[in-house]
């Protein structure tokens, strides 16, 4: 039975710089990069070296602990640099793109068996788009997940609108879904936004459970949806994908290509004309930035949204899973007696600044901490923004003291960093909640394996 879930808890942060629903075309980026750091807990083993020629779909590196999981080049060109960080950790593989992309060809049959499908996804390098809960790592191909979840909407601040991005791609989407369906004996849950009229691409989709979820952010997060539809306990595994990645899978099966082109929304208060661009995963954002114009000042470029994204440089590259670039101002300025001011421009979930008088106002927020880190004092804040039957503060404290038993009891398997990103945002004591949860998850994973 499909479900209709209405969530009350959560918080929508109204920011300036939502992308207009228009596409702008830009010339293809000159260089690309694949960042092994986008894949949590991955130890890469290189296949190529600097100077090698690659095609779109050629393997660049694989997972040291599971050699079947491969990572492919998004374009054809030459590997120019393998950037290493501390302890020689591989940070980035840079590729100078050819002017015309040539694809490695894969021959896959849409009527293949589960094993053939998995092999095809692994060989082509598409597999890493499939991730699992708990732990948010790349799915293990030898698992049989109890369900697969696809959230068709993103409620994060300024997030791209999938109804717009996938408009008219009904056929392709259905092809992708049919492939995905083979991966599980359980259900494929396609969760649509109950706040709006979701696109026909999703509502007319066959062979899936269509669930309606409504409510403020984080209603669009897969973790929250799993919690309400088919919760995971210790030992359970569910897989999840993003809607645009389903198209990538579809293209692999229809055209035999590793084609990771996608729509990316350029958003944020520092962008003059926020809008959508058609580009390729891993592309440098410099083209986008120069085509548009970015407001003066010291800016922060984020691959992803403001709550969970990764900071990149002005000529950095789009992250593997991201379809949004956000540009906001750095807030490295002191403010005179800011904590006493009426604060009409300040956004707060609490009503302690007078900005609550203008609830529909859009805000221009910068990266200032707005205070200093403190011990926990205020309680009950996190509960307002986490629509799960979980005690977030107690869970975070269990993570801090590394008590694995308590973490398990309090529901660590059900949460991801992104689900608690709002807790971090609203925290009066300015705790680094996502980092604490990530370390807790890593500890549990280590103890369990």
Partner 1 sequence: MKLFKNLLNVVKPHFENGGKLEKLYPAYDAFETFLFVPNHTTNKGSHIRDAIDLKRTMFMVIVALIPCMLFGMWNVGYQYHLAIGESVSIFENFIFGFWKFLPLIIISYVVGLAVEFAFAIYRGHSVNEGYLVTGLLIPLTMPIDVPLWMLAVSVIFAVVIGKEVFGGTGMNILNPALTARAFLFFAHPIYMSGDKVWVHDAMVDGHSGSTILGELAASSNWQSLSFNPFDMMMGTIPGSVGETSFIAIMLGAVILIATGIGSWRIILSTFIGGFAMASLFNFWGANELMTTPAEIHLIIGSFAFGAVFMATDPVTGSQTNKGKYIYGFLIGVFAILIRVFNPAYPEGMMLAILLMNIFAPLVDHYVIQGNIKRRLKRANA
Binding span for partner 1 by CB under 8 A among 77-85, 146-154, 257-265, 386-394 = 386-394
Give the shortest CB-139-to-partner 1 separation in angstroms.
Answer: 22
Give the shortest CB-58-to-partner 1 separation in angstroms.
Answer: 34
Site mask for partner 1 (CB under 8 A), range 155-184, x = bound: --x---------------------------
Task: Identify residues 41-70 at the interface with partner 1 (CB under 8 A).
Answer: none
Task: Identify residues 359-378 at the interface with partner 1 (CB under 8 A).
Answer: 365-372, 374-378
- Tell whether residue 357 is a contact of partner 1 (CB under 8 A): no
| Residues in the chain, overall count | 449
Looking at residue 349, the DSSP 8-state letter turns out to be: S
For residues 308 and 434, the answer to whether their CB atoms sit within 8 Å is yes
Q: List Cα–Cα distances, 235 to 127, 129, 238, in angstroms.
A: 22, 22, 10
Taking the least distance from each CB to partner 1, the nearer of 64 and 430 is: 430
- Tell whether residue 237 is a contact of partner 1 (CB under 8 A): no
Task: Identify residues 247-266 at the interface with partner 1 (CB under 8 A).
Answer: none
Among 346, 404, 442, 445, binds partner 1 (CB under 8 A): 346
Task: Identify residues 410-439 at the interface with partner 1 (CB under 8 A).
Answer: 410-411, 417, 421, 424-430, 432-435
Dihedral sign computed on CA atoms, order 132, 134, 138, 141: negative
d(CA 43, CA 59): 15
Taking the least distance from each CB to partner 1, the nearer of 29 and 326 is: 326
d(CA 145, CA 150): 14
Give the shortest CB-324-to-partner 1 separation in angstroms.
Answer: 13
3-state secondary structure of 298: coil
B/e letters for 47-75, b = 16+ CB within 10 Å, e = fewer, are ebeeeeebbbbbbbbbbeebeebbbbbbb
For residues 133 and 222, the answer to whether their CB atoms sit within 8 Å is yes
Binding span for partner 1 by CB under 8 A among 20-28, 173-181, 313-321, 406-414 = 406-414
- Tell whether residue 390 is a contact of partner 1 (CB under 8 A): yes
DSSP-derived pairing of the beta strands 59-63 and 44-46: antiparallel
């Amino acid at each position: 039975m499909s479900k209709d879930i209405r969530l009350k808890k959560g918080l929508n942060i109204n920011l300036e710089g939502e992308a207009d629903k228009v596409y702008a075309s830009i010339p293809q980026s000159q260089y690309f990069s694949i960042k092994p750091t986008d894949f949590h807990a991955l130890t890469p083993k290189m296949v190529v070296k600097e100077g090698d020629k690659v095609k779109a779909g050629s393997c660049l590196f694989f997972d040291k602990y599971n050699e079947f999981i491969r990572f492919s080049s998004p374009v054809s060109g030459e590997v120019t640099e393998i950037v290493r960080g501390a302890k020689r950790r591989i940070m980035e593989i840079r590729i100078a793109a050819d002017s015309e992309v040539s694809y490695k060809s894969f021959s896959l049959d849409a009527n293949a068996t589960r094993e053939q499908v998995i092999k095809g996804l692994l060989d082509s390098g598409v597999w890493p788009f499939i991730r699992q809960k708990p732990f948010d790592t790349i799915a293990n191909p030898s698992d049989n997940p109890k369900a697969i979840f696809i959230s068709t909407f993103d409620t994060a601040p300024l997030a791209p609108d999938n109804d717009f991005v996938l408009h008219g791609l009904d056929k392709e989407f259905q092809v992708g879904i049919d492939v995905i369906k083979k991966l599980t004996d359980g259900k494929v849950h396609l969760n649509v936004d109950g706040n709006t009229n979701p696109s026909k691409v999703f509502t007319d989709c066959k062979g899936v459970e269509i669930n309606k979820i409504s409510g403020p952010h984080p209603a669009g997060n897969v973790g929250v949806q799993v919690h309400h539809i088919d919760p995971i306990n210790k030992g359970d595994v569910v897989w999840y994908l993003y809607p645009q990645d389903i198209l990538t899978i579809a293209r692999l099966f229809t055209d035999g290509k590793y084609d990771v082109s996608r729509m990316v929304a350029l958003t944020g208060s520092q962008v003059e004309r926020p809008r959508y661009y058609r580009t390729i995963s891993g592309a440098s954002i410099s083209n986008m930035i120069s085509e548009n114009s970015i407001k003066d000042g010291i800016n922060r470029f984020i691959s992803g949204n403001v709550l969970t994204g990764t900071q990149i440089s002005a000529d950095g590259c789009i992250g593997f899973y991201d379809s949004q670039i956000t540009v906001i101002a750095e807030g490295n300025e002191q403010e005179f007696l800011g904590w006493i001011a009426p604060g009409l421009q300040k956004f707060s979930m609490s009503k302690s600044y007078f900005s609550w008088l203008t609830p529909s106002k859009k805000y221009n927020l910068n990266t200032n901490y707005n205070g200093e880190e403190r011990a926990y004092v205020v309680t009950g804040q996190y509960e307002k923004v986490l629509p799960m039957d979980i005690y977030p503060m107690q869970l975070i404290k269990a993570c801090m003291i590394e008590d694995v038993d308590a973490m398990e009891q309090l529901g660590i398997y059900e949460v991801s960093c992104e689900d608690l990103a709002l807790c971090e945002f609203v925290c009066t004591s300015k705790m680094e909640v996502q980092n604490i949860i990530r370390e807790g998850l890593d500890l549990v994973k280590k103890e369990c394996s």
